[in-house]
């Protein structure tokens, strides 16, 4: 079997402010995937106040629209940096939710997603079709307003956005990148789910105790979420950046997908959690790949039972696939991940085998 094309990756964590990512060169990143602090969500007020006195003053005076704009002006600096460091054809993915809040007794929706879209377009990004992430809850307290009486009640807000933006035109691939791109393909049935415009995935809420983190809690997107997006919008060996890394889910998804990663966060305690997560990647890698392969084999078995045509085989594993574009896809498992210096890690890979998956 041919040697794997991306045998190792690098992962760097910066305890620094992403409003000025001066450690990164222009056009050095292929994909940005992040979920920023949400303007007008109270758990992030202190961070925005520390960045800009205008936010503090506006909130003190109950000037909701002014506070909203002041917060976004700080995020705009990050989007400008993302545009600078992205290569031509690179993708920016922003997970963001709108905020509902009462300011001075007035309840209002603050449309974070539309404000970010407009700012990114002003920087030169092209906006592409986005994804609606439904984070449904069965809590009886999720309904807002006047209960059973008309007019005064409000619609529940159980979704967030994954904004998809591109710098410049379509990415162009070198000869070596074209081969890697073929190895980075996903299954036909995965494409049908991943590229749908509505996702139903459960979010994660984490509470930190005794880890030296300045934030008591954070709402993180799950690993499945980041893993999908990294595989959808980059190829193996690419550089993936998260300017608001938090607990490191984006970097972990990149590592598990044979991509390099860079993460920024101002909180060293949170970065320590991310560091430990990356060092334990070996424990996660085989499970994710096993689940993907088993799901595919189950899909093929079901298709055979329905007597539907299957015309192709994967060159490396021998199992049936639906399209010719899947014939060269490969899976690499993480053999080891180690820290060569603090907050700087390496990961090494080998071809994942099917010893635990039966060919059906």
Please report how many Cα atoms fall inside a 13 Å half-sphere around the Cα of residue 228, on the Cβ side: 20
Query: pTM of the prediction?
Result: 0.93
The answer to whether residue 317 is domain-embedded is no
Tens of pLDDT, residues 306-355: 999 999 999 999 999 999 999 999 999 999 999 988 899 999 999 998 76
The answer to whether residue 312 sits within a structural domain is no
Question: Are the CB atoms for 236 and 259 separated by under 8 Å?
Answer: yes
158 is a domain residue: yes
Range of the domain at 259: 10-279
To which H or E segment does residue 80 belong?
A: helix 64-85
pLDDT of residue 150: 82
CA 318 vs CA 2, 61, 314, 326: distances in Å: 14, 66, 5, 11
Burial 335-357 (b: 16+ CB within 10 A, else e): eebeeeeebebebebeebebeeb
The candidate with the shortest Cα–Cα distance to 8, out of 319, 285, 332, is 332
Domain-embedded: residue 306: no
In a domain, 255, yes or no: yes
Q: The domain that contains 181 carries what CATH number? A: 3.40.50.150
Q: Give the helix/strand (H/E) hosting 127.
A: strand 125-134
Q: Is 87 helix (H, G, I), strand (E, B) or coil?
A: strand
Which pLDDT score, from 0 to 100, does residue 139 have? Answer: 56
Instruction: Please state, in angstroms and rounded to a whole number, the distance separating the CA atoms of residues 130 and 135.
Output: 16
Residues contacting 195, CB < 8 A, separation 6+? 232
Residue 4 lies inside a defined structural domain of this protein: no
For residue 151, what are the contacts with CB-CB under 8 A and spacing of at least 6?
none
Domain count for the chain, please give it.
Answer: 1
Residue 295 tokens, joined: 């799901």
pLDDT in the model for residue 356: 47
Cα 268 to Cα 89: distance, rounded to the nearest angstrom: 32
Is 16 inside any structural domain?
yes
User: Which residues of the chain fall short of a pLDDT of 70?
Assistant: 1-2, 136-143, 145-146, 203-219, 355-360
d(CA 48, CA 56): 8
pLDDT of residue 210: 46
DSSP string, 2-54: PPPS--EEEEEEE-S-TTS-TTS-TT-EEEEEE----TT-GGGHHHHHHH-HH
In contact, 29 and 90? CB cutoff 8 Å:
yes
Residue 359 located in a structural domain: no
Q: What is the pLDDT of residue 179?
A: 97
The pLDDT of residue 244: 97
Q: What is the pLDDT of residues 277-295, one digit of tens each?
A: 999 999 899 999 999 999 9
**DSSP secondary structure, 263-321, as one string:** EE-S-HHHHHHHHHHHHTHHHHHHHHHHHHHHHHHHHHHHHHHTT----EE-TTT--EE
């Amino acid at each position: 079997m041919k040697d794997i094309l991306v045998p190792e990756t690098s992962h760097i964590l910066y305890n620094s402010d992403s409003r000025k990512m001066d450690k990164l060169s222009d056009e050095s990143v292929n994909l940005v995937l992040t979920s920023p602090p949400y303007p007008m969500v109270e758990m992030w007020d202190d961070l925005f106040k520390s960045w800009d006195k205008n936010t503090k003053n506006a909130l003190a005076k109950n000037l909701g629209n002014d506070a909203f704009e002041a917060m976004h002006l700080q995020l705009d600096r990050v989007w400008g940096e993302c545009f600078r460091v992205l290569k031509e054809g690179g993708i920016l993915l922003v997970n963001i939710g709108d905020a509902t809040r009462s300011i001075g007794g007035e309840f209002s929706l603050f449309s974070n997603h539309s404000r970010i879209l407009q700012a990114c377009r002003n920087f030169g990004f092209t906006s592409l079709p986005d994804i609606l992430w439904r984070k449904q809850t069965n809590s009886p307290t999720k309904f807002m307003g006047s209960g059973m009486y008309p007019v005064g009640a409000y619609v529940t807000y159980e979704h967030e956005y994954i904004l998809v933006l591109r710098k410049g035109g379509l990415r162009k691939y070198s000869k070596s990148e074209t081969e890697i791109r073929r190895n980075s393909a996903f299954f036909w049935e995965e494409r049908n789910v991943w590229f749908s415009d509505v996702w139903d995935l459960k979010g994660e809420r984490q509470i930190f105790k005794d880890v030296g983190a300045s934030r008591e809690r954070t709402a993180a997107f799950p690993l499945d979420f980041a893993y999908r997006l990294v595989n959808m919008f980059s190829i193996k060996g690419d550089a993936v950046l998260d300017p608001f890394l938090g607990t490191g889910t984006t970097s972990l998804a990149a590592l598990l997908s044979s991509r390099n990663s860079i993460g920024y966060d101002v909180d060293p305690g949170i970065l320590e959690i991310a560091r430990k997560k990356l060092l334990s990647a070996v424990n996660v890698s085989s499970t994710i790949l096993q689940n993907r392969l088993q799901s595919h084999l189950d899909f093929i078995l079901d298709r055979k039972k329905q007597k539907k045509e299957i015309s192709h085989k994967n060159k490396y594993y021998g199992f049936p696939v639906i399209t010719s574009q899947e014939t060269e896809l490969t899976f690499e498992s993480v053999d080891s991940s180690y820290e060569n210096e603090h907050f700087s890690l390496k990961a090494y890979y080998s071809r994942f085998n099917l010893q635990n998956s039966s060919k059906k």
